Structure 1
Amino acid sequence: MSGLSMGMSGLTVLPEHIFLVALVSHSLAKTPGRLKQKSLVSPTPSPHLMLAGTFILCWLLTVAAFSLFNSPSPMSSLRLLVWLSINVIALLVVKFLEVETAQLVGDALRACTVVFPLYIAAWAAANATGVRNIFVEADYASATFRLKGLMLEPNLLAGLALLMLCVAFSYRDQLNRSLFLASAAVLTFAIFVTYTRAAWVVLFFVIAHSIWSSKLRHKILFIFSFTVLTATLALLFADGGSIQAGSIVDTIRSRFESLTNFESGTGAYRFRIWSIAIEEINEDGWFFGHGYNAFAQSHSAADTSDGTLYLSLLWLALVYDGGLIAFMLFTGAFLLLWTKSKAGSIWFYVAFITLSTSTNPIWYMFPWVFAVLLVPSEASLPSGPRDAVPEALGVRRTPFSPNVLRQLRDPLGRIPR
C-alpha cells in the first residue's frame, strides 16, 4: 500500500508502518508464554546472520553519516533512512515470531487470493470503460491502463507479487496445493498486467522451473503451451499495422521496443540518469557518498513523465549514496542472507536483482520481510545443553525417575556406569 500515505509531524507514514505496530502488539499479547519458553531454549544466532545484521547496521550508519554532511537536504535523507530502519525492525519482528514460517507464507497467499482479484477486476473495468480508477495507471505508450493496486507505481506492485510468488515457490511442498495454484495464477496475471518487463523475464523462468520440476504430463503441457505462445507472439509482432493503437498487444510491443531505444522512452531516460550518476561518482570519487536519495535532491525532474526523479538502479544508487564501502556492506549482507536461505529460494534473489534494475524496492517493507521468510529457523538446532534438543523439536522430555535405573540393571544386578 505504498500509494497510500499520511503526514505526521513532518514524516510520511505508510499503512505498513501502522500494520507493523499492530503486528508487534498482537504477537506480544498472544504469545507471552512462548516468549518465556524461547528465552530458555533459544540457540545462539547463526554467525552468518549476526554478521549480516552487523553489515546492515554499518551500512545504515555509513549512509547516515554521508547524508548528514553531504546531502543537499540532510533531513529529507535522514527521514528516508528512518523508513529503512523500520523495515529492518520488521525483518527482526517476523524472524522471531513464534509462528511456523510456512503458516505465515500460507496466510500471505490467502490474503493475495482475496486482494489481487479485486485489483484485476478494477484493471479490467478501467480498460473496458476507459475510465481511470485508483488501482490503475495510464500507460505512457498507449491508451491502456497498467495495474498498480494500492502501490505507488506498477513496478512496485509487480515486485511485490513476483517476490511473493518466489517465496511461495520455495515453500510449495509445505503449502496446500490448491492454495498454491490459485495464488500463483492470480499473482501471475497481476504481474503480467503491470506491464513490468523485468518482472516478466523472471516470471517466465519461475513458471518454467515450477512446471518442469513437476510430473511428466505437466512438462508436456508446458512444452505445448510454450510453443503455442511463441507462435502467437511471433504472428502478433510481425503483423505490423493491423494492430490498433491502444490494444494490449500494442502496449506490450511498444514497451519492449522502448526498452532498447536509447534515444527516447524508458531506455533513453534510464540510460541518461545512469550516465549522469556515474559521471558524478567519477568526479567525486568512488568512496565518496552523496547522501541517501541525494540524486533526486540535486537534479531537476522536469523531463520525467510523473515529476519524480531517482536512481532506479539500486546497485548504482548504493555507490552514489554511500560510496563503495556502503555498497560492499549491503552486498555482503545480501549474499550472507542468500547463503543461509532455504533450498529453492534462488529465484527470489534472482528476481530481486532483476527488479532492482528498474526500481528501488528496499524503500519498502515487503522485500525485507519476504527475505527473512526464506531463512529457516534454527530453533531446531540449539547449541546449548542436549536437554534443549527435544524441547526445541516440540518433544516433551519425561521427568527422570530412579525407577529407570532398576530397569537398566544388567543380569548381575549391577547398575551400569
Structure 2
Amino acid sequence: MSVRPDRSSAELGGFIVLAFSAVYTALAIPLAAIVAVCAAASLAAVVLSLRSIRWAWCIYFSALCANGLQFTVSNFTVRPEYIATPLFLAALYSYTCREPDARSRSPFAVGMTIGTVGLVSVGLTSGMLFAPETAASLRMAVQLGVALIAVVPLTRVALDHGFVVRSGTAILSAISTVSVAGFVLDPSTRVDGLAFEPNIMGCLCAGWIGVLYYFAGDRAVVTRQVLFLAGPIPIALILTTTRAAWIALAIIAVCVMVRNATRYPITIICSLVAFTLAVAYLHEVYYRVGDADTFLWRVVHVIDTESGTGAYRLQLWNIAIDQIAARDWSAVIGTGLNTFPQFNPVDPTNVAAAYLSSMWLALIYDVGFVGFAFFAVLGVSLFLGVRHKKQAIPLFAALAICTSVTNVIWFAFPWVFMALTVTASRAGSKSTSAARDARRRSHHRGRPRHRVVVNA
C-alpha cells in the first residue's frame, strides 16, 4: 500500500523540479528558453504529423491561415507554411505507406505538373535574365514554388473530407472569432486575423466558404456542427472591408439561394427584399458619404474606379500595361516574378514602391505570355479534375474575383482549396479506411464475407 504514495511523491517532486528549472531558464536565459520551446514544439509536430495525417492537416492548415506571421533569415522572409509544407508532404507519403488504398489517381495530374513546373521555371529564367534585383525575384520564385508544390500530392491522396472540412472550419473560425472580438474592442481597425493583410484574410475566408459550398451536398461532411462553427467566418470576411471578397461572398450567397430555392422559398424571398431595400438605401446616401476611411464608404463604393483605392489600382494597372506594350521580345517570358515594384520603386503617391495588385496582369508582367500559358494549363487541369464542376464554380469564381484586385498567387491556401475539390472527386474511387473497418467488424461478428459489399 505504501508504493503508490512514494511513486506519486517522486513524480510530483520531479514535476516541481522540472517546472522550477523551466521557469528559471526562461527568466535567466530567455533566448535559450524560446529556442528550447520551439525545438520541442517542432519535434512534437514532426512526430505527430508522421504518425497521424489528421495532425499533419491541422498543422498545415494552421500554417496556411497564419501567412502573416514571418521572420527574416539572411534577407529571406520565412513564413510558417515554408516549414509546414515539407512536413505535410512527408506526412502524406507516410500516410499512403500505411494506407495504400488511400492512393488515388487523376488523369489531369500530368497537366497540373506541367503547369506548376513550367510556371516556376519561366519565373526563374526571366528573373535571372531581366530582373533589376535578381535575388529578390528568385526569392519570390521560391515562395511560389512552396505554394504550388503540395497541389499534385494532395490530388493523389484520398483524405477524410469530413475531418478535413470540420477541422479547417474550426481553425479558421477560432481565428475569425478572436479577430471579430478585437474589432469590437477597436472598431477603427480592419480584421486581418493571422493573414498578411486584411485583403488576404478576406480572400482566405471567401475561399474556405467556397470549399464549404462545394462539400455542402454531402451531409456527412458539412454537418450542422460545421455550419455552426462556420458562423464567425463570413462576419470576419465582411469586417475585413475587402470589397472583392464581399462580391465573392455575394456570388456564393446567390448560389446558395439557387440551390435551396425549393426548400426555403420564404427565407430566400425575404432575403431578396432586404437586399433590395439595402441597395435603395445605399443609392440614397451615395453622395452623402464623404469619409473614404469609413466602413459605409466602402459599402457604397463597392465598385468604384474613379476614387479611393479603386482609382489607385486602375492607375497602376495602366502603368503596367504601358510598360508591357513597350517591351521587346522579353514580353514573351516577362521580366521576373514580382518585378513591378523593382521597375517602379515609387508609386504615384510617392509613399512606397508600386504594387501590382491584379494577379492576372501581374502574371503577364512577370512571366509573360509563356508563363501565363503554363498558369492556364495548371488552372484548367485543376478544374477538369473536379467531378462536380457545378459545385466548384463558386470557389473558383470567388478566388478569381479576389485575385483580380489582390495578388494571392504567392500563398498556398488558394491552391490547396482548389486541390481539395480534386481530391474529393477521387475519394470514391478507392475503398476507404471506414469501409475496411466495417469489413473487419463484420468478419469478427461471423458474418459471411460474400455478403459484404464495398463500392468500388
State the TM bucket, normalised to the shorter chain.
0.7 to 0.9
Contact 1:59-1:330 at 8 Å conserved across structures = yes
Q: For the residues of structure 2 that align with 1:195 and 1:391, how far apart are their CA atoms?
A: 43
Aligned 1:162-311 pairs, distance under 5 A = 162-174=206-218, 175-214=221-260, 216=262, 218-239=264-285, 245=291, 248-253=295-300, 255-256=301-302, 259-261=304-306, 264-285=307-328, 286-304=331-349, 307-311=352-356
For residues 76-96 of structure 1, give each alpha carbon's deviation from its aligned partner in whole angstroms, at most 9, with x where no partner exists. Answer: 111111111111223345445
Contact 2:175-2:193 at 8 Å conserved across structures = no
For residues 23-68 of structure 1, give each alpha carbon's deviation from its aligned partner in whole angstroms, at most 9, with x where no partner exists. Answer: 4565566x4xx41552x8856x433221221121011111110101
Q: Identify the match of residue 35 of structure 1 among 97, 101, 121.
A: 97
Q: For the residues of structure 1 that align with 2:278 and 2:185, how far apart are their CA atoms?
A: 25
**Any unmatched runs of 5+ in structure 2?**
1-65, 444-456
Structure with larger RCO (C-alpha < 8 A, sep 6+): 1
1:297 positional shift: 0.9
Contact 1:42-1:379 at 8 Å conserved across structures = no
> Which amino acid letter does the alignment assign opposite residue 203 of structure 1?
L
1:241 positional shift: 7.9
1:306 positional shift: 7.0
Which one has the bigger helix percentage?
2
Question: Does residue 313 of structure 1 match 2:358?
Answer: yes
TM-score (normalizing by structure 1): 0.79
**Any unmatched runs of 5+ in structure 1?**
128-143, 383-388, 400-417
Contact 1:212-1:218 at 8 Å conserved across structures = no
User: Helix, strand or coil for the counterpart of 1:173?
Assistant: coil
Name the counterpart of 2:175: 115
> Which amino acid letter does the alignment assign opposite residue 168 of structure 2?
A
For residues 106-150 of structure 1, give each alpha carbon's deviation from its aligned partner in whole angstroms, at most 9, with x where no partner exists. Answer: 2101112222111111111111xxxxxxxxxxxxxxxx4321122
Question: Does residue 14 of structure 1 match 2:79?
Answer: yes
Paired residue total:
370
* Aligned CA distance change for structure 1 residues 220 and 301 (closer, same or farther; 3 Å): farther
1:329 positional shift: 0.9
Name the counterpart of 1:146: 190
1:359 positional shift: 0.8
Aligned 1:96-107 pairs, distance under 5 A = 96=156, 99-107=159-167
Q: For the residues of structure 1 that align with 2:277 and 2:121, how far apart are their CA atoms?
A: 53
Q: For the residues of structure 1 that align with 2:254 and 2:396, how far apart are their CA atoms?
A: 17
Name the counterpart of 2:202: 158
Contact 2:199-2:240 at 8 Å conserved across structures = yes
User: Helix, strand or coil for the counterpart of 2:334?
Assistant: coil
User: Helix, strand or coil for the counterpart of 1:12?
Assistant: strand
1:239 positional shift: 4.0
> Which amino acid letter does the alignment assign opposite residue 312 of structure 1?
S
1:271 positional shift: 1.6
Name the counterpart of 1:350: 397
TM-score (normalizing by structure 2): 0.73
Question: Does residue 340 of structure 1 match 2:385?
Answer: yes
Name the counterpart of 1:89: 149
Contact 1:77-1:294 at 8 Å conserved across structures = yes
Identity %: 26
For residues 339-387 of structure 1, give each alpha carbon's deviation from its aligned partner in whole angstroms, at most 9, with x where no partner exists. Answer: 11141111111111111110111111111111110103536547xxxxx
